[in-house]
């Protein structure tokens, strides 16, 4: 299949009519040049102006010197998915200059430093040159910082051209530099000077501008990894074993940052948590499973290659029934793949993870706020079910900045599951059988080390075991054990988050998706509705599927399953679970490493609808 | 003597009122005469004699013959039989659950010196408080007699031919990796094994016990370095080791200058009575030297090779609460709603 190129339907804007709060800005730079501060500053300033906004870093797997793009979408209508159209381009990187120039839509804006010497032949766009070197030289920046503050020049120019509130840029810098006056004023000085230069020297000919709104009031701006870490902290995480891997690293680093602030014993100053950087992912999950087994809320965070390494231990945790939470911030596989690009390619692998018969519980956060929620909820589910719970985020959700409702405090007390302590064992009339299904839900009772009751200890193993955790090769015992685990997985349906469903009138078509594609789907559905294709939408939040999914799949004539992978992995799982509906389930799978867009979703669905 | 033994177990109890029977596990399923059974028995004796409450210990193991043995002792202790070579990570996490509980791990040369080498060395580097016993016999037993990484070069096994590779020396690896307690012993020297286990249980960090434990089925030819015969013939003990529990009077009889005393983490004492030359087990370079020398002279040098009681253990590094982490309440684990409001305000 060739690279999918959605058509761009918009005409060039009339220069007389202002285009307000509805366009994309892309900044092309070299990675490691410090442009991230500038980009985030613009993003935050727009957010502070009350305008719905999203920012995505499309970056290489490299420390310094390769092309990188940052794209900001400004949308008065609240559409925050990536778009193909690029109205405003800031071309700071000579290496991609020609390519960047070609990408600007007709009527768009092209801004670049005046020391890049390329002949520009396009006449359908508005071009602005910035004397970056001169403006930086005129600033008080020490020479060692000049390359970094150079990026503030385009912030000042954009502020003038788009009418960004310069005070809000100051507030954004204050936030970024955590109130440290020196860097704030140094950077802001450049922004101000450039703004003034632009005001005197540039004649605005294009149509794009921003204007204050009130759509972000009460919202927060965060990335999913930070949200997940905070959620885990409010979920009482006690043990984190981890190993660095893009794009999951910042999750564990956020735990390292926030745990000491939030989780020290107020009287003694001692820690109620342990964060341990393991020697590799094999050990990271081994540690987390050991901790989960001994009664701690334990987790690890990783991405595809790490998940592959964790497979054998995950199988043991499934079989020996040990609670543990694994965050998989997905990147593009197979193999090392594209480490800094996004995908949803670990779905079927996680579902079937391990040799033998296994079924894994997966949570699928679709927003930053849900990353927070699943951060704490995953522990409740893992401890209730005594099984590994995988939370599948992705690079786009995990590492990019998203506006979101504020994180809401857990609305339920912790569920520590069926754990028996000394007093419980004392009250127990019968003996304690570690793997006996007393309640008929497939979940047995467990004890944890430190419980000094003589009946408490048992021996945990990955080999065949009977209800008393004794080694057994008995055929019936083995058969019954696997059946109980299957029953437990059915029980899981009661405990996992239900899907979100949004319906439109008269729609016979359903769309199922999950995770970070939500904004693209939402926008695509509005576009489809305008083309007389109304759709109902179900956003999965977990596997196994709950009753709501059964109903949705049964109710719709055609159900498009949208996901960012090649093989339609969620579509496969749905087809397995609902074989009688398999012909009604249609796969819309697309992956190129970039976040999903509404155009892709709309056009792939329209192609199937044959319209 | 026999009559006494027959009637004694019923009445004989240790200081916490438990009989030796309370420290036993299931009957062994290993081969008769296997060195591992002898080590299991010494674990039972050591725990009984130091009055360890079985519930206050967790047993760990990986995969292999050795790793089956934790079910043959301390049936009243928690245990976790993990993955091949990856027991150290399991123990690392599990021992944070309740820091008052001790850990005792049994691994083999197949489990530790091949796939497990990484986790072995990293558990050592972190000074995890764990008794790490390697039941070292130079072969893979459960898969019927392949060479392990500790088999000596030139070892000839009927079904395998001749081993062409140089061996890995587990005690040397432990020393080089900065282990804080390194011993080598021999399953055919049960008294030394037992005293070393007692000492190891009193150590504040990791204690590596590389115990030559002959495989009677696959590698017990008289000339093999992991055989009973070779061990009996070539064992040279660095010292005669006795363990004195905390607050107990030292009754071991020795002349001044004839023994060294080492005070352990929990206040117990290890007395190392000189048998040949002077040996200082607090010197890492000495330990390395005598091991090299023993290898060159083809002797099985046993005893406490090295001890360092100064280095902080993993738990100390993490400054965790006195209350065991797994007994903290929801209130102690979930920060307040007000604190979340503050976090939200920070999320620009």
Residues A482 and A341 in one domain: no
The nearest CA of chain B is from the CA of A63 a distance in Å of 26
Establish if A414 belongs to a structural domain.
Answer: no
User: Can you give the pTM of this predicted structure?
Assistant: 0.96
pLDDT above 50 for B80 = yes
- The H or E element containing residue B301 is strand B300-307
Over range A377-382, report the average pLDDT. Answer: 98
A274-277 and A324-330 beta bridge pairing: unpaired
Q: Is A293–B54 a contact, with Cβ atoms under 8 angstroms apart?
A: no
Same domain assignment for residues A190 and A146: yes
Strand partners, A86: A104
Interface touch B101/A450, C-beta < 8 Å: yes
Interchain pair B321, A452: CB under 8 A: no
Cβ under 8 Å to B: A residues 260-299 = 262-263, 265, 268, 270-274, 276, 278-280, 282-298
Q: Which two tokens stand for residue A61?
A: 């797997």
Q: Checking DSSP bridges between strand B181-186 and strand B161-162, what pairing results, if any?
A: unpaired
Residue of A nearest to B96 (CA): A291
Q: Which residues of A touch B333 (CB under 8 A)?
A: 236, 238, 263, 272, 297, 414
Q: Is the pLDDT of residue A9 over 60?
A: no
Q: Coil, strand, or helix at residue A482?
A: helix
For range A487-515, the mean pLDDT: 96
Mean pLDDT of A253-272: 97
How far apart (Å, rounded) are the C-alpha atoms in residues A169 and A45? Answer: 5
Tell whether A62 and A90 lie within a shared domain.
Answer: yes
Q: Residues A41, A148: one domain?
A: yes
Q: What is the mean pLDDT of chain B?
A: 94
Say whether pLDDT at B325 is over 60: yes
Asked if residue A417 is part of any domain, the answer here is no
Least confident of A429-433, A585-589, B274-278: A429-433
Domain count, chain A: 4
| Whether the predicted pLDDT of A1 surpasses 60 | no
Cα distance between residue B123 and residue B208, in whole Å: 10
Q: How many CA atoms lie within 13 A of B189 on its CB side?
A: 29
A542 and A588 housed in the same domain: yes
- Collect all residues of chain B within an 8 Å Cβ-Cβ radius of residue A288: 93
The pair of three-digit structure tokens given for residue B43, joined into one six-digit string: 């674990």
CB-count exposure of residue A232 (10 Å: 0-12, 13-18, 19+) = buried
> Residue A5: pLDDT above 60?
no
Beta carbons of B28 and B37 less than 8 angstroms apart:
yes
CATH number reported for the structural domain that contains residue A586 in this entry: 3.40.50.920
The Cα–Cα gap between A416 and A409 comes to: 18
Residues A234 and A186 in one domain: no
Which chain B residues are within 8 Å of A313, Cβ to Cβ?
A: 83, 86
**pLDDT reading at A463 higher than 90:** yes
Whether A419 contacts A391, CB under 8 Å:
no
Give dist(CA A375, CA A234) in Å, integer: 8
> In this structure, is residue A36 part of a structural domain?
yes
For residue B48, the model assigns a pLDDT of 98
User: What confidence category does residue A90 fall into, taking pLDDT thresholds of 50, 70 and 90?
Assistant: very high
Q: How confident is residue B335, by pLDDT bands cut at 50, 70 and 90?
A: very high
CB B38 within 8 A of CB B191: no
Tell me the CATH number at A60.
3.40.920.10
* pLDDT band, very low/low/confident/very high, at A2 (cuts 50, 70, 90): very low
* pLDDT score at B250: 79
Domain co-membership, A551 together with A470: no
What's the first-to-final CA gap in chain A, in angstroms?
21
- pLDDT, average across residues B218-232: 96
Q: Which residues of B touch A224 (CB under 8 A)?
A: none
Pick from A175, A273, A286: CB nearest B348 = A175
Chain B touched by A417 (CB under 8 Å): no
Split at pLDDT 50, 70, 90, the class of A12 is low
Mean pLDDT (whole number) for A496-519: 96
C-alpha to C-alpha distances, A194 to A133, A165, A167, A364, A525, nearest whole angstrom: 11, 14, 14, 44, 41
> In terms of CA atoms, which chain B residue is nearest residue A416?
B330
Please tell me the distance in Å from A411's CA to the nearest CA on chain B.
10
For residues A137 and A240, the model is more confident at: A240
Q: Are residues A467 and A516 in the same domain?
A: no
How far does A275 lie from chain B, in Å, by closest CA?
A: 9
- Model confidence at B46, pLDDT cuts 50, 70, 90, reads very high
- Residue range A347-368: average pLDDT? 98
User: Could A294 and B326 be called an inter-chain contact, meaning their C-beta atoms sit closer than 8 Å?
Assistant: yes
Which residues are CB-neighbours of B74 under 8 A, at least 6 positions away?
A: B23, B24, B25, B43, B44, B47, B54, B57, B59
- For A283-314, the pLDDT digits (tens) are 999 999 999 999 999 999 999 999 999 999 99
Return d(Cα A323, Cα A289) in angstroms, integer.
7
Contact residues, A window 468-497, toward B, CB-based 8 Å cutoff: 471
CB contact under 8 A, B89 and A283: yes
In the predicted structure, residue B10 carries a pLDDT above the cut 70: no
Q: Do B328 and A272 touch (CB under 8 A)?
A: yes
- Report pLDDT for B341: 96
Residue A136 sits at the chain B interface (C-beta within 8 Å) = no
Residue A111 lies in a domain: yes
Q: Does the residue A9 lie in any domain?
A: no
Give the residue-averaged pLDDT of A44-66: 93
Say yes or no to pLDDT of A60 above 60.
yes
User: What's A284's domain CATH number?
Assistant: 3.40.50.970
Q: Check whether residue A287 and residue A428 sit in a common domain.
A: no
**Does the bond joining A334 to the residue before it have cis omega, within 30 degrees of 0?**
yes
Residues from chain A contacting residue B321 (CB–CB below 8 Å):
265, 268, 270-272
- Residues in A closer than 8 angstroms to B334, CB to CB, are 234-236, 410, 414
Q: Is A355 on the interface with B (CB under 8 A)?
A: no
Report how far residue A464's alpha carbon sits from residue A466's, in angstroms, rounded to the nearest whole number: 7
* Same domain flag for A119 and A92: yes
- In this prediction, residue A316 carries a pLDDT of 98
Which chain A residues have a beta carbon less than 8 Å from that of B328?
238, 272
Does residue B39 sit in helix, strand or coil?
A: helix
Q: DSSP of A382-441, one letter per residue?
A: HHHHTSEEEEEEEHHHHHSEEEEPPPPPPSS-----SB--HHHHHH-SS---TT--SSSS
**Digit-coded pLDDT (tens) for A533-586:** 999 999 999 999 999 999 999 999 999 999 999 999 999 999 999 999 999 999
Q: Are residues A76 and A199 in the same domain?
A: yes
Q: Could you give the CA distance from residue B131 to residue B128 in angstroms, rounded to a whole number?
A: 9
B210 pLDDT more than 70: yes
Q: Does A235 touch chain B (CB under 8 A)?
A: yes
pLDDT digits (tens, 9 = 90+) for A188-202: 999 999 999 999 999
Q: For tokens 């983490």, name the residue.
A: B265
Residues A167 and A236 in one domain: no
Position A280 in a domain: yes
For the residues of B213-246, what is the DSSP string, one character each? --BTTTB--TTSTTSHHHHHHHEEESEEEEEE-T
Preferred mutation among A263, A265, A287 to probe B, highest tally of B CBs within 10 A: A287
- Inter-chain Cβ pairs, chain A and chain B, closer than 8 A: 207
Mean pLDDT of chain A: 95
pLDDT bin (cut points 50, 70, 90) of residue B2 is very low
A407-411, B79-83, B344-348: least confidently modelled range: B344-348
The CA distance from B280 to the nearest CA of chain A, in Å, is 33
From A209, A244, A270, the end of a domain falls on A209
Q: Which of A355, A374, A404 is the last residue of a domain?
A: A404
B254 vs B234, more confident: B234
Q: What percent of chain A has pLDDT over 90?
A: 92
Q: Which residue has the tokens 């334990």?
A: A298
Instruction: Quote the domain boundaries for residue A484.
Output: 422-495
Residue A184 lies in a domain: yes
**Mutant choice from B53, B84, B97, B319 vs A, greatest count of A C-beta within 10 A:** B97
Question: Under DSSP, is residue A261 helix (H, G, I), strand (E, B) or coil?
Answer: helix
Contact residues, chain A, for B70 at CB < 8 Å: 459
Q: How far is CA B160 from the centre of its chain?
A: 30
The CA distance from B263 to B245, in Å, is 10
In-domain check, residue A587: yes
ipTM: 0.96
Residue ranges covered by each domain of chain B: 2-323
Q: Encoding tokens for residue A355?
A: 């040799």
pLDDT score at A11: 58
Q: Which fold has domain B2-323?
A: Rossmann fold (3.40.50)
Residues B240-259 pLDDT 10s: 999 999 987 777 778 878 89
């Amino acid at each position: 299949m060739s690279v999918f190129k959605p058509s761009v339907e918009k005409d060039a804007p009339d220069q007389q009519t202002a285009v307000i709060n509805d366009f994309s800005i892309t900044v092309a730079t070299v990675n490691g040049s410090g442009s991230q501060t500038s980009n985030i500053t613009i993003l935050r300033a727009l957010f502070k102006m009350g305008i719905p906004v999203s920012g995505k870093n499309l970056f290489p797997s490299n420390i310094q010197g390769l092309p990188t793009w940052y794209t900001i979408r400004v949308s008065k209508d609240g559409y925050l998915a990536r778009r193909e159209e690029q109205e405003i381009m800031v071309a700071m990187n000579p290496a991609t200059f020609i390519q960047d120039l070609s990408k600007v839509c007709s009527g768009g804006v092209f801004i670049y430093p005046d020391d890049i010497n390329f002949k520009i032949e396009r006449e359908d766009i508005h071009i602005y040159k910035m004397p970056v070197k001169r403006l930086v030289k005129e600033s008080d920046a020490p020479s060692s910082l000049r390359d970094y503050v150079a990026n503030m020049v385009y912030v000042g120019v954009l502020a003038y051209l788009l009418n960004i509130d310069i005070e809000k840029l100051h507030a954004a810098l204050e936030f970024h530099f955590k109130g440290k006056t020196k860097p704030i004023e140094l950077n802001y000085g450049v922004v101000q000077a450039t703004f003034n230069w632009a005001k005197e020297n540039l004649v605005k000919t294009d149509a794009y501008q921003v204007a204050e709104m009130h759509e972000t009031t009460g919202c927060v701006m965060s990335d999913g990894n930070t949200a997940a870490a905070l959620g885990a902290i409010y979920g009482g995480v006690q043990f984190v074993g981890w190993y660095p891997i893009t794009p999951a690293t910042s999750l564990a680093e956020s735990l390292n940052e926030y745990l000491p602030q939030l989780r020290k014993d107020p009287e003694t100053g001692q820690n109620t948590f342990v964060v341990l950087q393991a020697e590799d992912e094999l050990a990271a999950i081994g540690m987390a499973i050991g901790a989960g087994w001994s009664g701690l809320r334990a987790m690890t965070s990783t991405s595809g290659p790490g998940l592959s390494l964790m497979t054998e231990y995950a199988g043991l945790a499934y079989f020996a029934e040990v609670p543990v939470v694994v965050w998989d911030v997905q990147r593009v596989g197979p193999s090392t793949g594209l480490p800094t690009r996004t995908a949803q390619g670990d779905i079927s692998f996680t579902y079937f993870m391990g040799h033998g018969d296994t079924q894994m519980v997966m949570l699928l956060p679709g927003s930053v706020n849900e990353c927070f929620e699943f951060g704490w909820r995953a522990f409740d589910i893992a401890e209730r079910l005594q099984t590994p719970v995988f939370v599948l985020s992705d690079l786009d959700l995990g590492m990019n900045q998203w506006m979101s409702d504020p994180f809401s405090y857990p609305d339920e007390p912790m569920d520590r599951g069926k754990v028996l302590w000394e007093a419980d064992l004392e009250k127990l009339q019968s003996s304690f059988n570690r793997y006996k299904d007393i309640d008929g839900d497939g979940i047995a009772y467990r004890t944890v080390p430190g419980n000094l009751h003589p009946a408490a200890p048992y021996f945990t193993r990955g080999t065949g075991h009977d209800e008393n955790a004794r080694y057994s090769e008995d055929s019936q015992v083995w058969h019954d054990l696997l059946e109980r685990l299957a029953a437990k997985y059915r029980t899981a349906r009661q405990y996992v988050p239900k899907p979100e469903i949004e319906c439109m009138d008269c729609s016979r078509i359903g769309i199922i998706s999950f995770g970070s594609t939500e904004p693209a789907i939402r926008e695509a559905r509005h576009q489809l509705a305008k083309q007389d294709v109304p759709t109902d939408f179900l956003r999965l939040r977990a596997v196994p599927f709950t009753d709501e999914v059964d109903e949705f799949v049964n109710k719709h004539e055609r159900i498009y399953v949208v996901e960012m992978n090649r093989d339609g992995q969620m579509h496969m799982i749905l087809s397995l679970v609902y074989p009688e509906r398999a012909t009604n389930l249609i796969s819309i799978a697309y992956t190129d490493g970039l976040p999903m867009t509404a155009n892709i979703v709309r056009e792939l669905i329209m192609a199937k609808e044959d319209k | 003597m026999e009559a006494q033994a027959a009637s004694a177990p019923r009445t004989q109890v240790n200081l916490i009122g438990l009989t030796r029977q309370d420290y036993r596990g299931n009957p062994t399923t290993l081969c008769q005469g296997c060195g591992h059974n002898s080590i299991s028995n010494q674990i039972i004796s050591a725990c009984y004699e130091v009055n360890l409450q079985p519930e206050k210990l967790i047993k760990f193991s990986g995969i292999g013959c050795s790793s089956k043995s934790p079910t043959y002792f301390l049936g009243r202790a928690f245990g976790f039989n993990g993955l091949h070579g990856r027991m150290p990570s399991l123990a690392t996490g599990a021992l944070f659950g309740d820091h008052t509980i001790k850990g005792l791990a049994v691994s083999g040369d197949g489990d530790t010196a091949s796939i497990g080498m990484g986790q072995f060395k990293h558990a050592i580097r972190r000074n995890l408080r764990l008794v790490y016993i390697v039941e070292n016999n130079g072969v893979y037993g459960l898969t019927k007699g392949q060479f392990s990484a500790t088999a000596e070069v030139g070892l000839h096994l009927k079904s395998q031919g001749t081993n062409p590779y140089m061996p890995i020396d587990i005690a040397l690896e432990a020393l080089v990796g900065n282990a804080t307690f390194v011993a080598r012993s021999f399953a055919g020297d049960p008294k030394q094994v037992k005293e070393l286990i007692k000492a190891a249980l009193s150590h504040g960090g990791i204690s590596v016990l590389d115990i030559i434990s002959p495989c009677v089925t696959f590698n017990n030819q008289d000339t093999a370095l992991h055989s009973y015969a070779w061990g009996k013939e070539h064992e040279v003990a660095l010292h005669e080791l006795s363990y004195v529990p905390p607050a107990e009077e030292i009754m071991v009889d020795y002349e001044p200058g004839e023994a060294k005393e080492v005070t352990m983490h929990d206040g117990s004492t290890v007395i190392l009575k000189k048998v040949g030359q002077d040996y200082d087990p607090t010197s890492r370079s000495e330990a390395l030297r005598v091991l090299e020398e023993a290898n060159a002279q083809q002797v099985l040098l046993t005893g406490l090779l090295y001890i360092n009681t100064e280095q902080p253990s993993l738990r100390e590094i993490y400054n965790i609460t006195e209350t065991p982490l797994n007994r903290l309440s929801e209130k102690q684990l979930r920060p307040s709603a007000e604190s979340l409001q503050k976090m939200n305000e920070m999320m620009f």
